[in-house]
């Protein structure tokens, strides 16, 4: 019996299907599907905004900006949820983009106001978080 030099054997895993591939066991859960849609919308809106202001995804400043945005977004999402301000994936994406724009502006990357969502209730939540 000849062994291949780089072959690897895997132990049995309950999440592996008949072909040894990982199955998405959580994809059926409605809450997981909802959160996946929310995060996909946030990523889409972030990419659109960055493209419109001319910032490439590989800009070295974005790591720090994204970390700060996430910190503020989590606070804003909790506050907005308590107030009943955000209900759809699109509104949550708008909330994220507004937080991102604030952080970008704080890092000397200008974001024209006409590129931002104009939902007054969401703007009020973001202003409250950034006080």
Residue 10 pLDDT exceeds 80: no
Residue 3 pLDDT exceeds 70: no
What is the reported pLDDT for 28?
A: 77
Binned at pLDDT 50, 70 and 90, residue 87 comes out as confident
More confident residue, 61 or 8: 61
More confident residue, 52 or 16: 52
What is the reported pLDDT for 58?
A: 92
Helix or strand or coil: residue 126? Answer: helix
| Residue 21 CA: distances (Å) to CA of 6, 29, 32, 33 | 19, 20, 20, 21
């Amino acid at each position: 019996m000849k062994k291949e030099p780089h072959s690897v054997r895997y132990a049995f895993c309950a999440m592996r299907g008949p072909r040894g591939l990982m199955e998405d066991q959580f994809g059926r859960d409605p809450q997981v599907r909802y959160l996946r849609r929310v995060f996909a919308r946030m990523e889409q809106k972030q990419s659109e905004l960055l493209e419109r202001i001319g910032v490439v995804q590989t800009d070295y400043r974005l790591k720090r900006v994204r970390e700060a945005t996430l910190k503020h977004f989590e606070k804003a999402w909790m506050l907005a949820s308590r107030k009943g301000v955000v209900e759809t994936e699109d509104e949550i994406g708008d909330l994220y983009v507004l937080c991102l724009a604030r952080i970008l502006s704080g890092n000397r990357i200008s974001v024209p106001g006409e590129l931002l969502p104009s939902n007054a209730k969401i703007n009020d939540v973001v202003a409250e978080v950034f006080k």
